[in-house]
Amino acid sequence: MASEATHEEAGHVEAEAQTQGEYIQHHLQFLTYGKHPDGHWGFAHTEEEATEMGFWSFHVDMLGWSVALGLLFVLSFKKMADKASVATPSGFQNFVEWVYEFVNQNVKDTFHGHSSLIAPLSMTIFCWVILMNTMDLVPVDILPWIAQTISGDEHIAFRAVPTTDPNITLGMSLSVFILIIFYSIKIKGVGGFMKELAFQPFGPWMMPFNLLIEVPTLLAKPVSLGLRLYGNLYAGELVFLLIALFGWWQLPAHFIWAAFHLLVIPLQAFIFMMLTIVYLSQACEDH
């Protein structure tokens, strides 16, 4: 009897663990839109359906939040600029001016080239990434519940943190990589850019070894830039999901982790911005 009771308890624990695993797995799925195997386009209702849609599918939730938060940044800053006052500045105007001075000073200290694009780009990256990261503080069950209520589908997936999607972070880093190539060719010319890859650091006689060093280093820039942001925010979201499994006991742990995450959110945005400035500065330096 004791062995049977022990076996039942083990089975109960295993079933509970499986349920918790399914809970986490469901919250890590995206709201995916794509082409089903039978040819029609629509939303995926399971992870298997999302996988079957293949590469040409869209994470509607991530794209929607990215665009919405980008518009929030642009429109709010534009509204402030339209109503800016030297005599009686508002609190939001003071905040925007502080952000501008902070970003502009970092650009002046780090970027050694001449471009009117770098400062606006850096400010956009900094503010946009902060807004996307801040969505990680929204309780993990609220937005999926709203999406399920509106759609009437209790199995639909819905995520709210765009920087937990590698497609978003790598897309941003790929844009930065394109600018790196553009400025490298603009400043040094095609020949100068190719010579820099082939002849450094050991000179023209060591060209094969130079290429083995410089080409992976160049290609690693967008990968490291995007995956660093994705990894940190994905880990933060996963910890919030694990805390949510505590039930009513989650509140103290949730607030502690959220307080710590208040440091992670701006820090990761700052790192992404600074690495962008550094990489573009290196692209503009003519050796």
Distance of CA 286 to the CA centre of its chain: 31
Up-side HSE of residue 113: CA atoms within 13 Å toward CB? 22
DSSP string, the chain: -HHHHHHHHHHHHHHHHHHHHHHHHHHT---EEEE-TTS-EEE-SSHHHHHHT-SS-EEHHHHHHHHHHHHHHHHHHHHHHHT--SSS--HHHHHHHHHHHHHHHHHHHH--S--SSHHHHHHHHHHHHHHHHHGGGS-TTHHHHHHHHHHS-TT------GGGSHHHHHHHHHHHHHHHHHHHHHHHHHHHHHHHHHHTTT-GGGHHHHHHHHHHHHHHHHHHHHHHHHHHHHHHHHHHHHHHTTGGGHHHHHHHHHHHHHHHHHHHHHHHHHHHHHHHHHHH---
Which residues are annotated as catalytic?
224, 228, 232
